[in-house]
Amino acid sequence: MMNSIVWPKNYQPGKTDNFVSNEVIVAGLTSQDVWLYLQNAYLWPSYYKNASDVVLSHGKKYLVLGEKFSFKTFGFPIDAEIMELNQPQEKTAARIAWHGWTGEEDTRLDVYHAWLIEDLPDHWVRILTQETQIGLPAQALAKVRPNPMLNGHQAWLDGLVEIALSNKTN
């Protein structure tokens, strides 16, 4: 049985204004191979063109539980806080999730973005990323076709796999 994202009550898919889900299963990688490129948020812009201007509150390069950080995505400034962070361990899926927000009052966008990375049998890894969004901007975004969040997160996944494969040290 594959693992799933752990959602806070207010951010459960189906109860928010917008939801996207992207997943890949890749041979030849482990959760450890992938983890570094997610936990080090300063690396995001190197493989995902929609991420820039990353700033971590504690000044170190790795995200930690409770960390407040900021970055730009799709040109929007996002303030965020790490809500879940479990590094890869044998027989345990790695998880990282943040609550992010931008805007004021009627233009506010609240998101919950989660990643799950798990090792599968026969040297395969599963990478799942999902995001729920709340607010008027999310309502408008949910109607856009093709969905820019779905395509953007697929580009993030593809870039993550590419950088992990190109830097694999086996």
Report the pLDDT averaged over residues 141-156.
96
Question: With bands split at pLDDT 50, 70 and 90, how would you rate the model's confidence at 169?
Answer: low
In this structure, what CATH number is given to the domain that contains residue 120? 3.30.530.20
Q: Within 13 Å, how many C-alpha atoms sit on residue 17's CB side? A: 16
CA angle 118, 67, 115 (to 5 degrees): 20
Q: What does the pLDDT read at residue 38?
A: 96
Question: Does residue 107 fall inside a structural domain?
Answer: yes
Report the predicted TM-score, pTM, of the whole model to 2 decimal places.
Answer: 0.95
**How far, in Å, are 35, 115, 128, 138 from residue 93 at the CA level?**
11, 10, 11, 29
Tell me, yes or no, whether 138 lies in a domain.
yes
pLDDT for 44-59, tens place per residue? 999 999 999 999 998 7
**Each residue's pLDDT tens digit, 65-74:** 999 999 999 8
**151 within domain boundaries:** yes
How many domains are contained in the chain? 1
Structural domain includes residue 70: yes
Range of the domain at 135: 18-166
Q: Whose CA is closest to 132, among 151, 148, 145, 149?
A: 149
Pairwise CA distance, residues 142 & 119, whole Å: 32
